[in-house]
């Protein structure tokens, strides 16, 4: 059994025991620096929807609320000096300084839209709220992007678990492949966006004097 599968089984027991509150707590942790992958949490909620123990509305509300809570705490961490905290304590949560630096560059290069995009990117989604806080991003915008991105990703994974029914754990075998396709798709969008911006800048540049 891989570490991810072990975590999925462990998290599913938590959810089974304490219900929606367990989902909220785990997704709050997932949106912070804790090593809680959403792929190991949300598919099981889809299975419970299929078993009529959860509802789509309940899963959406509590998983999204958890993501908002965790992201807000990370935002505040960044706002009040969180970078130093992550560098000092991140290693205890399987996060390294390099992970934060990559996330910071990603945020400062592509701006506020990364709060939405990062919800679909492994590792980055655990940390992206910290540079947002460091940059003092408008909190209302931050919450809107977080809600849309986290809500979409969480419900996608819940639907996969619903579709797979009792075989929901199969997603563990394919989560890395899914991540690769998502990353490639997002990279394609980013490359197009950068190309489009560069083209516009060149178009608006004044003619050089000879």
Q: In angstroms, rounded to a whole number, what is the distance separating the alpha carbons of residues 70 and 126?
A: 9
Two structure tokens written together for 210: 């000879």
pLDDT at 109: 73
Q: In angstroms, rounded to a whole number, what is the distance separating the alpha carbons of residues 137 and 123?
A: 20
Query: According to the per-residue pLDDT averaged within each range, which of 28-32, 112-116, 202-206 is highest?
Result: 28-32
**Residue spans of alpha helices (H) in 19-167:** 20-30, 42-50, 56-79, 82-89, 97-110, 114-117, 124-127, 129-134, 139-164
Per-residue pLDDT, averaged over 102-106, amounts to 73
Average pLDDT of the chain is 77
64 or 12, greater pLDDT: 64
Per-residue pLDDT, averaged over 19-25, amounts to 95
pLDDT at 20: 95
11 or 171, greater pLDDT: 11
pLDDT tens across 152-184, in order?
Answer: 999 999 998 898 876 766 666 665 555 555 556
pLDDT at 59: 96
Going from the C-alpha of 197 to that of each of 26, 147, 200, the distances in angstroms are 38, 27, 5
28 C-beta neighbours (distance < 10 Å), count: 22
Q: Residue 3: CB partners within 8 Å, gap ≥ 6? A: none
User: Is the per-residue pLDDT at 93 higher than 50?
Assistant: yes
């Amino acid at each position: 059994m891989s570490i991810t599968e072990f975590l999925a089984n462990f998290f599913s027991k938590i959810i089974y025991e304490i219900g929606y509150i367990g989902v909220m707590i785990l997704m709050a942790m997932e949106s912070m620096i804790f090593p809680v992958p959403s792929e190991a949490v949300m598919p099981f909620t889809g299975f419970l929807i299929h078993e009529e123990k959860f509802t789509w509305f309940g899963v959406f509300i509590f998983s999204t609320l958890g993501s908002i809570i965790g992201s807000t705490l990370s935002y505040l961490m960044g706002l009040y000096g969180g970078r130093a905290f992550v560098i000092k304590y991140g290693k205890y949560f399987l996060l390294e300084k390099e992970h934060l630096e990559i996330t910071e560059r990603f945020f400062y290069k592509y701006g506020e839209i990364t709060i939405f995009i990062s919800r679909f990117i492994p590792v980055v989604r655990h940390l992206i709220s910290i540079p947002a806080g460091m940059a003092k991003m408008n909190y209302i915008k931050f919450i809107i992007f977080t809600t849309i991105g986290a809500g979409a990703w969480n419900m996608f994974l819940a639907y996969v678990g619903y579709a797979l029914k009792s075989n929901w754990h199969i997603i563990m075998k394919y989560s890395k492949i899914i991540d690769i396709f998502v990353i490639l798709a997002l990279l394609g969008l980013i490359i197009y966006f950068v190309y489009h911006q560069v083209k516009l800048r060149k178009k608006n540049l004044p003619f050089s004097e000879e």
